[in-house]
A and B are shown apart, each in its own frame.
Chain A
Amino acid sequence: MLTGHAADTLQAIRQRGTLTWGADAEGGAPYVFIDPQEPTRMVGFEFDLADALAAKLGVKARLVQNSWDGLVPALQRGNFDIILNGLEITDEHRQQIALSRPYYAYAQQIVTRKETTGLTKLTELKGKAVGVLAASVAQRLLEKMGGADLRVYPGNVESFRDLNNRRLDAVLLDLPIAIYYLTKEPGLVASGAPFELGYYGIGVRKTDGKLLEALNNAIEALLADGTLQRIYSKYQLWDERQAKLASYHEEPLVSQTPVSALRDWRKYLPLLLRGALVTVEISSLAMILAVAAGLMLALARLYGVAPLRWLAATYIEAIRGTPLLIQLFMIYYGLPNVGIRLDAFTAAVLGLGLNYAAYEAENYRAGLEAVPHGQMEAALALGMTRAQAVRRIIIPQAIRIIIPPVTNDFIALFKDSSLVSVITMVELTKVYGMLATTTYDYIGLGLMTAALYFALSYPASLLADRLERKLRYGLHHPR
């Protein structure tokens, strides 16, 4: 729902009787999440807080789902009135939007497996595999410190899973999340004391001064009348740090010129290129796997004995009929349950390669079937075995037929490789996302990223074109 930017948002909220608030309920406990006991209902301390705030404004609260690292741009384009979702009061955020007085004081917490020792301080995380939530304070802290093997996750559940699976040595995250998940993870513990105090504030557009004032007043009132303490205690989140909420003073913001990635391309291009290299590595290896496995599948489906034929057909239909994203999740997070623990790179290549193998198999089958029946007959009549005939007569002719669809698939795979960021691979699109969410230069970085994708995929098209022309066997070029 779009609300007017320049108009008085507070008045608009009162008129329509609802306060829309943006948050990400995916893996969002204890902030806002689906009640595990009653999946049709939302709960969470921010969910309760939104209701309490709305009541103070005399309206109802309505949640608008939005991915967490896209909340700020979504607010700016008017998708909702406020952000209420563990948004840290940082100078970076304050450059983009206005933030209310804090409603919660949080800290960073290291979480490890029970048996792990010696990982109690930030500096002790150097050289360790550490999981963090994308675009979180924890990520920025570790990046600033350097030296840790940083793994970036789209949600919290996944990083805890990998900690249990021993892919990680530790997870660094906001204390409230740690408190909530540690009650559900008997094998994990909070390691060392919380550190790096910070505050969550409500995000509003910079033009909404009146709304900001009303929210500040509402927070103050909720703090004074004990509502905040009641809500936080319900989720075991009230601690001694919250005493600081009343005495909070905002530091003056040193205004910075907005980042322009195009102007500072020397700074950003190397980062994007590093991501592009990962993209090229993953897609090339995945394509090699897809071509090889696809050919096996197609041959099995066309020339195999009955059970083999049936197996190949089932594989192709099952893979084509289910989303790649789910297959990646199952390979990376599901297989450890049966004792197969692949690193993210291998899982990414396998996931993409085995998925595209199904599409390649169908391309090849179509290509092989398009070769006239008489070709096989002529080869057999000359005494060739079926295998010799397929390899020397049928496949070479099928190749020319399948070049266009296979090229198409390779380019599609190249772009689909961005999906592997869900299993912690930092490839081109992920680098773009990470840079964009900190600089907010979605357009400049987007143009650079798109140009990189194009620069990498266009030569593949040209090459395929040339190959296709070369394989015309004199059909259009009499000597």
Chain B
Amino acid sequence: MSHGERTEFKNPVINWIDERLPVFSLMQREYGAFPTPRNFNYLWNFGAISMFMLVTMIATGIFLAMEYTPATDRAFGSVERIMRDVNWGWLLRYLHANGASMFFFAVYIHIFRGMYYGSYKKPRELLWIMGIVILVLMMATGFMGYVLPWGQMSFWGATVITNLFSAIPVVGNSIVTWLIGGFAVDNPTLNRFFALHYLLPFVIVAVVFLHVAALHISGSNNPLGIEPKSAKDTIPFHPYYTSKDLFGLTVFVIFYALIVFFAPNVLGDPDNYIQANPMQTPAHIVPEWYLLPFYAILRSFTLDIHIPFTSIVLLNSKLGGVILMGGAIAMLLLMPWLDRSPVRSAVFRPLYRIAFWLFVVVCLVLGWIGAQHAAEPYITIGQIATALYFSFFLVVLPLLSRFEKTLPLPSSIAEAVLKKD
């Protein structure tokens, strides 16, 4: 926002505003001329797609909030009223409920893309960390949003997740009582979850802003994982990537619309169309699909760890599960320091490439296990998958950074791209 470099705008109104508040200069610099690697593939669409979903969720959410009532005796009914009586209410609700799934889907692809191409590495560590913070905020927001319709899964999901905090030694139960505002999940819980579900998306907007600001400092990574060296390696963001993002977004929205209009309940749980009953636990509590891998990790810890030769429990299975689940997120945060390989992109890392795809399979297996009953053989499979999840970060990444023989990197993006053609 320096004064000297401002270019004049032809439109006098725009120019008048820009002289006083250089928003147009900023947009021109950060989104118009912004030099971007020329070799993005379609996986680079998912940042923009995620942003679109965030806006969609906030827009539909605000209108839903105008019709929704956060009280235990009326919440379920108010959601049914939205579905039946409110003009276009069914559309708003289906867009919002399935939008959460689409948002997570886009964000997970975005994260896996970052992992594959080494986007978390220097100098983008903080950018990556803010991305994981966004993921955690999304999980909290998604979870609290799922409680609002006050169905059976809402209620029991809320009960199970808030009880995770009771695993904390000594003060655990007081923390749970404080969190839910009573001795069981009830009206105070529903009220505060609504307040927080409305608040957190705006916190996400703020962190997304920082995420994008940091991106514009380091510049984007690219499929080759090498930094642009000259003007030949980059193209302006507009019109090249605005149009590419728009195309990717259109395909994504078609997919979103197919779900909303033709299978709006396919990702939901039928039990959530039964009003919450605090006296009866459903036979099988499952979180939404996007939380399943973490739920599987939570349940994988079934042992009590004792102080040797005594019966004093050092770490019970409940606390152990909670620590593992937190650890699963912490692994992502630590990834820039666990992987010391100087080569970013998996394109030039033959062993990392295999490890990455195995990791994706492990995440899918965990997701599948998270949806199963806590019984054999699922418990054992879940435990193996959890062990593999952690060994990817704590064993494979450090070992590969030391012993992997990477392929030679091209001297520049332009050279690699033009040679291919």
Partners in one complex: no
